[in-house]
Amino acid sequence: MVMMLVVVGVVSGALVAGAAWGVFGRMKPATEGFLIALAGGALLVSVVSELVEPSIEAGSVWIAMAGLAAGAIVFSLLDYFVDEKWGSDSGGGLLAAITLDGVPENLALGVALIGAGPAEVAALAGSILLSNLPEAAGGAREMASGGRSRGRVIALWIATAMLLSAAAVVGNVALAGAGDETLAAIRCFAAGAVVASLATEVFPKAFREDRHWAGVATALGVILAFALGSLSGG
């Protein structure tokens, strides 16, 4: 439980740190795009190696395929609803989109922590942390430029971090007694949602901001994920 709270606190705290960076600091769009692509590459590999592959070993490839498809479909439908209701460029739309991205990531993190040692979740936690920093920085900066006060923007991101932390705790505590096949299905559902968010939100934004180096940054993220994964002997 202590390890879970520490990991979740650090990962969700990256949202607040990123928001503060976006509101009070300065970052060139190209730098933001590079960092987002880097994080996206790392997160994509970590999702496959830390969620999908263990789920196939514990359950079956059919459960993994069904979970991935279901997670991607549900995320895409909710993402469409957010864009249509709030608009992807509005403050509410940005916050809803980040929350929608973060819930499956943190749920997956909480489930991955079940019965795992610190090194076994290093790749997934590290990749989520890397993705949270630039995403929160960009979202907070756009909110502040839209007329919201800095204090209100930071407060919103603190609330978001608390919500996503709760998702991770629920994923860890509520599912601690679930069977292997159930956990495999949930892991892959979360993985499918994360993959869909990478395709619709993360990589398009990275390319818009830094089209010339986004591919290199993504490859570096893949290398980073393999390096983090080696900590667990993967």
Share of residues in the chain with pLDDT > 90 (%): 12
**How far is the CA of 99 from the CAs of 49, 95, 139, 233, in angstroms?**
24, 6, 11, 32
Q: Tell me what percent of the residues of the chain surpass a pLDDT of 70.
A: 86
d(CA 118, CA 154) in angstroms, rounded, equals 30
The per-residue pLDDT for 219 is: 96
Tokens of 92: 């509410």
Among 145, 171, 146, CA closest to 12: 171
At 92, is the pLDDT very low, low, confident or very high (cuts 50, 70, 90)? low
Q: How far apart are CA 163 and CA 16, in angstroms?
A: 12
- Average pLDDT of the residues of the chain: 81
pTM above 0.75, yes or no: yes
- The pLDDT-based confidence of 220 (bands split at 50, 70, 90) is very high
Whether residue 110 is predicted with pLDDT greater than 60 in this model: the reply is: yes
Q: Helical H runs in the chain?
A: 2-24, 29-47, 53-58, 61-85, 91-112, 122-145, 150-173, 180-197, 203-209, 214-229
Backbone angles phi, psi at 88, to 5 degrees: -65, -20
Contacts of 149 (CB under 8 A, 6+ apart): none
pLDDT tens figures, 139-184:
788 778 777 788 888 988 898 888 888 888 877 777 777 777 888 8
